[in-house]
Amino acid sequence: MTASATAFGPGAIAVTVVVASADGGRVEAVRVASTRPVGFSSALFLNRPADEIPGLVGRLHSLCGLSHATASAAAIAAARGLDTEAVAANRFDGLLAERLGEHLRSTFLGPAGASGDEVQREALADLRAVLAATRELVAAADAPIEQARRRAAIDGIRRGTERLGLALDGHGRPWWPTASWAGSVLQRAEADGGSPAIALDPLSRGDDAAVIAALAADPTGFAAIPHLGTRRPETGPFARATGSDPAGERARIAARLAEIARAAATLEAIPEARRRELADWVSAGSLGERTGYAAVESPRGRLHHLVRLDAAGRVAAYAVLAPTEWNFGPDGPFVATVGADRVTADAAGRARVERIAAAFDPCVGFAVTVEDRDRA
């Protein structure tokens, strides 16, 4: 996402950083204020037939819409005691394409991808071609297409991502040719000085039981400011990465680029490999009494939906917990990263915080203000 507070979706995030310029730009406070609507799902979906909800959820979320629709459909299937694996399997092409497309768009539009050099200009045609192919696969989750069209879309994604420098080596590891667009993105992140490295505490599938229990107990409050005891986990590409290096701006961007390459490869993988991969993307279960939940590894992180149906099959309660609330919580990983930094109270300092925020990739626009305590 770019640093616009009004250009994307409902709500926005306002970040205020207070620094002590007399102490070398030491950060004294980081405040995050969000106008994202929380709890709207309960009011909007209440008493609606359950079959209407996945489509409605997907239309309401302009970013990661298929991930939301899949979480909704899987949670409803779990509440009904139906097969949740089929829900995910039927949408897996679309989920892969959505992750790939969202990551590409965020990186191109974000500070790390913005460049007037020749590599950037040449990459735009490949970006457009890949995004067109991902849109076709995402749409196919609701309206299946013939195999020839699917194959053509996947081939177009593979060719485009390879030209952008997003590919895996013979050992399944991502690599970034220096002269490629992907290589230029990582070089830019390094040239900008990166951001402080903080210890990673990833939100994982093993946390689902605690997350769902807390969401059920306080749907609105927990969805607005989620936490697990004293933990404030991070979710998203870097949290999903297997490496344990401390997370900085470059590491988060590299993890995002690696997921693009892996998603493109998984689209072409054999069925057995796809089934193994899918198990890490979507999980769902029943809590009894016509209540079900689902967790989906959306592009921006682990997404949770919780639904309770009445005896007539209508929605009696619904809750959504999005990944942005974890990463941009009042004392979450974004705040911890900025708080460990040195920030100047000028345009350069504001741009630095914007780059850090963009590396966390919130699902709404954001605006940054830097205040100088000493000047005040």
Concatenated DSSP letters of 273-315: HHHHHHHHHEEEEEEETTEEEEEEEETTEEEEEEEEE-TTSBE
- With respect to residue 5, please indicate whether it lies within any of the assigned structural domains: no
Which residue from 288, 347, 259, 368 is spatially nearest to 13, judged by alpha carbons? 368
- Low-confidence stretches of the chain (pLDDT < 50) are 1-9
Give the pLDDT of residue 247.
67
Q: How far apart are CA 336 and CA 346, in angstroms?
A: 21
CB 6 within 8 A of CB 360: no
Q: Is residue 4 part of a domain?
A: no
Residue 206 domain flag:
yes
For the segment 59-88, what is each residue's pLDDT rounded down to a tens digit?
A: 988 889 999 999 999 999 999 999 999 999
What pLDDT is recorded for position 288?
Answer: 86
The answer to whether position 7 is within a domain reads: no
State the CATH number of the domain containing residue 123: 1.10.645.10
Q: How far apart are the first and last CA of the chain?
A: 31
Q: What does each C-alpha distance from 106 to 4, 154, 256, 267, 332 come to in angstroms?
A: 13, 21, 10, 21, 21
Q: Sign of the C-alpha dihedral, residues 230, 235, 240, 243?
A: negative
Q: Domain tally for the chain?
A: 1
Domain membership of residue 58 as a residue range = 12-372
Q: Provide the pLDDT for residue 266.
A: 96
Please give the pLDDT value at position 121. Answer: 73
Cα gap 216→308, rounded to integer Å: 10
pLDDT score recorded for residue 3? 41
Res 278: pLDDT? 92
Tens of pLDDT along 292-324? 999 999 999 999 999 999 999 999 999 999 999
